[in-house]
Amino acid sequence: MSSRRNLANAVRALSMDAVQKANSGHPGAPMGMADIAEVLWNDYLRHNPANPKWVDRDRFVLSNGHGSMLIYSLLHLTGYGMSIEDLKSFRQLHAKTPGHPEYGYAEGVETTTGPLGQGITNGVGMAIAEKVLAGQFNRPGHDIVDHYTYVFLGDGCLMEGISHEACSLAGALGLGKLIALYDDNNISIDGEVRGHGDTPAWFLDDTPKRFEAYGWHVIPEVDGHDPEAIKAAIEEARGITDKPSIICCQTIIGWGSPNKQGKEDCHGAPLGADEIALTRETIGWEHGPFEVPQEVYDGWDGKTKGAELEAGWNARFDAYAAAFPAEAAEFKRRMAGDLPDNWSEAADAFIASVVEKGETIASRKASQNALNGFGPLLPEFLGGSADLAGSNLTIWKGSKGVGKAECSGNYLYYGVREFGMSAIMNGIALHGGFIPYGATFLMFSEYARNALRMAALMRIPSIFVYTHDSIGLGEDGPTHQPVEQIPTLRMIPNMNVWRPCDAVESAVAWKAAVERRDGPSSLIFSRQNLAHMDRSDDQITAITRGGYVLRDCEGTPDAIIIATGSEVDLAVRAAEAMSGKAVRVVSMPSTDVFDAQDEDYRESVLPRAVTARVAVEAAVTDGWWKYVGSGGAVVGIDRFGESAPAGELFKEFGFTVDNVVAAVNGAL
């Protein structure tokens, strides 16, 4: 039977071999954290390599994602579908082993990590999901949701501000099933973070005190190369149930490399053939590149234990189902990501009621109405807001707050943490069992931008809600008035962006976001009231196609006005003012959804023969030229706003009937 050290050395050997073969990568972190990983994965992590999606598995997140060969080695050794050939293809095109762990490439990778700090934040989201799901489904004597979230993280994660946002909230929520293992190796790419010689320090935080202040249980100064010390620390952390735990593991980066361990030299570059040979000798690894003896595989194998763990859970779930059949069926539905059987019919009925009311209201209010309409149908809703619930209108009649003691609710008070909120939502979505939505002012999507990108990259269904969508915000001024945010959100690949023009489009946008399973949605709503638009049944159906003819004319149009959100009403009034011209108005609440339609449909809405086109949107104009062409015009805003009442600002920046009519006439 292989010793713990020999099992850990398999990770070290595979990691340095893969990085060397690729001539690219980060061997230091996997080599330094191998002992920690060995104890966690062999003694504690509840998982089943034969069923990587087992719902009650522990979640493992490698937040310091540059050390990706650590998780790839672990997946290979424990019996996942990660072959030795996959390891040899590290960092190569279309491999299961990209440079940073990518969700969807290899089974067992729970989230995409690389942008530092987001992994720990995803982990907070996963732990929240576990806590809330347990609160909603567990019953006395029947704990069907009972798993941990373990996160490996390094100095870089702790330097990123998002880690503060997430870890502070984790402490407030008392996430006792979250355990972070901090790789305290004093090294980042630039060298020793606490300084050395003539190099000044750049990270002198007292991490234990920092996390104590957050309300975490802190286990300091653990020897990260002593399996017994690591085991004792994990035992201690698992014994604390009312707060998250951080285990501060003091390690040596690149452990085992005689000339490069403890130095930045092994952080982000191959060790080199000569150093690898010396390392093999130093650690006693007597095997060639990518060679692992059977006894080491036997020591790592997780399939037998994993099957036993899942079988035990299946038996417990069967007992739960016998006692609580309705709850068991609901749990299976939610974890499968299926919508309720009555969803489509009931959602359409709600939209019909919105049409019938024909209200002139702010689209943020229409969004809240949609939550009240859809919320009772969707117990999987897990909403929240970054401290602006009263403005974002994200609390609906069935909202119930989640707190340290109250874990069965469906609403999170995120505080002023836009970036943290968004990455936490991604973790919730990745965990499963919920449809997460979270809100802030559109302007502050900037703080969250990289989390939005990660949601799109991972193709997960997070719903980002943004209100106060333009200079219509008014008196708060240009610091709060978004002008470039809508266009840049549209530029994120795989992000569906909706900017509805009234209550009906708002309800349809929400329905589309709920039904989308292959990526995130950004829903953008107004502060000010928006007029109701009359539509036929066919037009209501066409909203789901992203763009449609809202107001048509006889015959071939002389001109087409395209608009979104609050500017649709302006476009309609401008068209009506041009009584001598045949003017079509196209509402385009989602440009990317429209772009995904077939060519015949797009041609029916925007016929090529009509070159006199004007786009109207209170935002930066650049993205609209692909719709209006070089002979068209865009009424937009290519500068920052001003502080004044909304009505005055719209006049000041040319959002008037006269100006739109002039733009159309100029295009004719």
Is residue 64 within 8 A of residue 28, CB to CB? The reply is no
HSE on the CB side for 226, CA within 13 Å? Answer: 10
Q: What is the DSSP string of 85-154?
A: HHHHTTT-TT-SS-SS--TTTSTT--S---STTHHHHHHHHHHHHHHHHHHHH-BTTB------EEEEEE
Is residue 560 within 8 A of residue 610, CB to CB? The reply is yes
Nearest-angstrom CA–CA distance, 149 and 512? 31
Q: Is 418 annotated as catalytic? A: yes
Q: Which of 360, 342, 317, 256 is nearest to 32 (CA)?
A: 256
Q: Which of 410, 390, 394 is nearest to 402 (CA)?
A: 410
The catalytically annotated residue of 38, 275, 418, 567 is 418
Is residue 149 within 8 A of residue 126, CB to CB? The reply is yes
363-374 and 503-515 helices, crossing angle to 10°:
50
Nearest-angstrom CA–CA distance, 97 and 156? 22
- What does DSSP say about strands 187-188 and 178-184: parallel, antiparallel, or unpaired? unpaired
Residues 6+ apart with CB under 8 A from 623: 487, 490, 491, 591
Is residue 230 within 8 A of residue 222, CB to CB? The reply is yes
Nearest-angstrom CA–CA distance, 15 and 270? 10
In which element (H, E) is residue 79 found? none
Nearest-angstrom CA–CA distance, 230 and 247? 9
Residues 6+ apart with CB under 8 A from 608: none
Task: Give the residue numbers annotated as catalytic, written as ranges.
Answer: 418
